[in-house]
Structures are given as structure tokens and as C-alpha cells.
Homo-oligomer: A and B are copies of this chain.
Amino acid sequence: MSIHDLEEILHPKSIAVVGASGGGRGGQFVQPLLEFGYKGKIYPVNPKYSEILGMKAYPTIRDIPEPVDFVISVVPSREVLKMIEDAAQKGVKGIHLFTARFSETGRPQAAQLEHEILTLAKRMGIRLIGPNCMGVYYPAEGISFQDEFPKKSGPVGLASQSGNVAGEIVNNAARRGVFFSKAISYGNAIDLNESDYLEYFAQDKETKIILMYIEGVKDGQRFFNVLRQTTPLKPVIIIKGGKGQAGARATSSHTASLAGSMQIWQAMVAQAGAVSVETPDELIDVAASFRFLPPIKGKRVGVAGGAGGASVIAADECEKAGLEVIPLPPEFREEMKSRGISIWDWLSNPADLSIRENDDFAVGTVLEMMAKNPDFDLLIAIMGHMHRRFMGADLTIDKYLNEQYCLNRCRMKPLLAVVPDASLGIEEWDSWEWKMNCELRTRLIEEEIPFYTSITTAANAGRKMIDYYQRHS
């Protein structure tokens, strides 16, 4: 029962870091446990040290006086078999093999050793995460594989075959206000594999949204079944790495994965009702939508805040993403007219506010009317173009969001914000305008409004969420 196994593995009362040291990779796995305040016992294991980071170090696992639940292995590959035998003696339930250089090298001897490791671990009743992976990030439990990861937990679970991709997703998602229950980097997946992690997250009470980065599937039929059962309960958003020839070569040399046919994959994911995305950036866009937005019932979008040609491009990009950029309804125009808005006959959707006369109404006026009108299913607010000259140096983010965008009155509808990035150089680093955008992002996270770097990515994320709810409603 892998579900039970993982639940136990992820709540160890003690962790031994075998191959630990004060610095480098060995330190990398001890330091975060201290940094994250892991409550259980930490046992550094390394015959070369008597003390590591202020803790007593043991020559081997067998020398630890108490039971050990979980092992993080940083030893070279040739020492793993011996380490597993030692671990078995101490009653270890699970081992995370950071240790690498196995089948991913393409070298027959290394693949043979990997096979022997799996056989031994099975015989000893020990479950393996990895090898060739970064392992577990579980902030509520005080476990992490990076010092810099957020201490804060959230409702998102991530299983990633790549530690690098996991790190990119965890760190970049945090800057969008998206935090994690657990993230597991699982590498070559010789024992516990993608189906186990998915099954675990499907039942995990701390996880409401599931993200995956998969290079190869070990058992397609099982994965399809688990996925199909999971998606009605929780959205599952998946990147498939290794789409073409070069990608397949890359998955082979990275995690020894067989990338498989992309056509079969796409059909399987669609049939199982999961959300397919291409890159970590897109994964985070879609995750932020599910994290912060209520279910979106339809495709009819209202857009406001872009000026001139930006509104034209907003219309094009929304339509390209499959959203319906509907014309302003007649009663909407009537209301504008009755409110004395002089361009009631001219304003369109997307609402181009640059055609206002004397700036006599705010972008939020239009957004609020769209929010109240039943013809709109979702709203996209284009934000972040703050110029000191037009807006005054006394502009605050409060004024910007409440007076210009009427945030609290337009968020009764699913609301997506666009805040552009800018590839700043060192001279712009300290500019007022871009610093205001940073403040704006922080504030939007506090307000639980998801933001995107462009209308293109906002529209795409909205559409993928709509498709999910149309499928599973």
C-alpha cells in the first residue's frame, strides 16, 4: 500500500542524513532541517566527522543508538547497497536517494547497480524515493531540500521528476502567492513512481490542487486509472517533459525515462480530465488561477485597463485563447448613458480607457458594471502601467486598487490581473514605476487576486480553468 507507506514516510520521527557534511551537498540536506525547524531527531552520518553543524555525527547508521524512520542518502552510488542493509537493521521505512549516477548515465554497470538496489530495498521492506532526485519539501513537517524555499504552507501538492523544475516551480509560485503542502522531487522512480505520488496527493487532506512534472510513466494503465479517478476531486495540472526526439534523449540522460508517444500522452491526459501545460511558467499561471479563483462558468470575458492598441491586442489574444470577448450588452450602454459617461456609444470591450473625456470615470467603473452584468463570466484587469507624471508621486497602491480599479466592487466575478514584467537593466532597477509594480504584486497576493505577466498568459490560464470546470461540472 503505497499511500499508507508515503504517509508514514512523510512523517518520520527521526531522519538520518547519510553522507552528511558541514558544507556542499552533504550540508545541503542537514541545514534545511535545522532551518525549517524539523521537530524529530536528526542524525548526521559520516565516518569522517565526529560532529556536523553542532550535532554528533555517527560513522554508520547502525551506530545510531535509537530507531531511524527515514534516510536521506548523499553517499556515492557504490555505498548504497551497504547503506540499505544498515538502514534495514535500524527499522528504516523509507529512503530518499539523492545519490545519482545510475541508469540515467546510460552505462550498463550503473543500471545493474540500480536494479540491485531496488531488489534489496524490496526484500528489506524499505520504500525508495528516487534515486537521482532532491526528495521531500514538506514545510509543515519542517522538511526541505532548499534553505530558500518558503516556510509557509499552502494547498498545492507537487510531484516532479526533476529537482530543478521542482525548485523553479516552488520558488516562482511563491512570488505569485501560491504555496505548497508538499513537493516531492522523485527522479528515476525505480520504486515509488508517479502513480504512487498522484494517489497520495489525491487522498491527502492538505492538498487541494495537484501539479506534476513527468518525464516518463512507469505503468501507463495504472497512471491513467489513478488520474481519471483523481481529476473529478482535485484539478491535476501536468507538464510532460520529453515531447520530441531531443526531449526523449534528454529525459533518458536525465532520469532514464522513456518519454513515449506524445500523441498517446495527450489523448490520455485529455480523456482523464487533467489539465495539460507546456512549461513551468504556464503551470504556475494555471495553478494560481485554481488557487485564487472560484469556478469560472463560461468563456465570456470582459477586459479593461489597456489603452489604444493594447486593447486591440487584448481582444486578439483572448480570442486566440478561446475566450469570447462579447460586445457590451445594450443595457450596459444604457447604464453608461444614464451615468453621464459621454462615450457610452463608443466604448467597447475590451474597454479602452484612453478615449475618456477628462478622465471622467475610472477603469473600475467599467469593471464593476461588468462584474454586476450576468453576461460576463470572468474579468481581466490590465494593471501596472504606472507613470509618475500621469499618476502623481503621491499615488499609493491603495488608491490605485480601490479608487482606480474599484477592486472590492468588481471581484464578485472571477478577476484576473495583468502586471507586466520588464527585463530591467541595472539602471532601471531603482525606478519608481517598477518598484510600484512590485508593491502591486505583493498587494494583489494579499488580496488573493491572481496576476499574470501578459494578457496572453492570463487568457490562456483562464481558458484552461474553464475547460476543467466544464468537464467536471
- Give the interface of A toward B (CB within 8 A): 100, 104-107, 147-148, 160-165, 168, 172, 175-176, 213, 215, 239, 241-247, 249-251, 253-254, 278-281, 306-320, 324-327, 343, 345-350, 352, 354-355, 387, 389, 419, 421-429, 435, 438-439, 441-442, 445, 451, 453-454, 456
Closest 3 CB pairs of A and B: A162-B309, A246-B325, A165-B309
Check B389–A319 contact: CB distance below 8 A.
no
Considering the complex, give the chain B residue whose CB is closest to the CB of A106.
B346
CB distance from A258 to the nearest CB of B (A): 13
Given contacts A164-B306, A239-B313, A253-B346, 4 further A-B contacts (CB under 8 A): A172-B423, A250-B314, A278-B320, A421-B453
CA distance A282 to B347 in the complex (A): 28
Contact across chains for B309 and A172 when beta carbons are under 8 A apart: no
Interchain CB contact (< 8 A) of A352 among B243, B253, B346: B253
Given contacts A279-B317, A313-B165, A424 and B453 within 8 Å (CB-CB):
no
| Chain B residues, CB < 8 A from A250 | 311-312, 314-315, 348, 350, 352
- The residue that A424 contacts in the complex, of B326, B347, B428, B438, with Cβ under 8 A, is B438
A318 / chain B contacts, CB cutoff of 8 Å: 246
- In the complex, are the beta carbons of B279 and A107 less than 8 A apart? no
Contact (Cβ within 8 A) A419 B426: no
- 12 example contacts (A-B, Cβ-Cβ < 8 A) are as follows A107-B345, A162-B309, A163-B309, A165-B309, A175-B425, A242-B316, A250-B315, A251-B312, A419-B423, A421-B422, A424-B441, A429-B438
A439–B453 CB distance below 8 A: no
Task: Give A437 to B339 CA distance when docked, in angstroms.
Answer: 48
**Number of copies of this protein chain within its complex:** 2
Whether B425 contacts A309 by the Cβ 8 Å rule is no
B281 touches A424 (CB 8 A): no
Count chain B CB atoms within 10 A of each CB in A160, A164, A319 and give the residue with the most.
A164
Give Cα distance in the complex from A327 to B244, angstroms. Answer: 13
A247 touches B423 (CB 8 A): no
Q: Which residues of B contact A279 (CB under 8 A)?
A: 313, 317, 454, 456
Residues of B within 8 A of A313 (CB): 165, 239, 241, 279-280
In the complex, what residue of chain B is closest to A147 when comparing beta carbons? B389
Question: Who on chain B is nearest to A325 by CB?
Answer: B246
Given the interface contacts A147-B389, A246-B349, A279-B456, does A175 sit within 8 Å of B312 by beta carbon?
no
Give CA–CA (A280, B309) in the complex, Å: 10
Q: Which residues of the partner chain B approach A251 to less than 8 Å between Cβ atoms?
A: 312
Instruction: Report yes or no: A175 in contact with B424, Cβ–Cβ below 8 A.
Output: yes
A425 near B445: Cβ-Cβ < 8 Å: yes
Residues in B with CB closer than 8 Å to A425 are 175, 438, 441-442, 445
- Hey, which chain B residues are within 8 Å of A242, CB to CB? 312, 315-316
In the assembly, what is the distance between CA of A427 and CA of B174, in Å?
Answer: 12
Contact B426 A442 (CB under 8 A): yes
The answer to whether B424 touches A454 (Cβ under 8 A) is no
The residue of chain B having its C-beta at the shortest distance from the C-beta of A243 within the complex is: B316
* Residues of B with C-beta under 8 A to A246: 315-316, 318-319, 324-327, 349-350
Complex interface: chain B residues within 8 A of A424 (CB): 175, 438, 441
CA–CA, A311 and B422, complex, Å:
25
Residues of B within 8 A of A326 (CB): 246
Q: Are B453 and A168 in contact (CB under 8 A)?
A: no
Decide if B319 touches A244 in the complex (CB within 8 Å): yes
Residues of B within 8 A of A247 (CB): 312, 315-316, 319, 325
Are A249 and B311 in touch, CB under 8 angstroms? no
Enumerate chain B residues within 8 angstroms of A278, measured Cβ to Cβ: 316-317, 320, 456
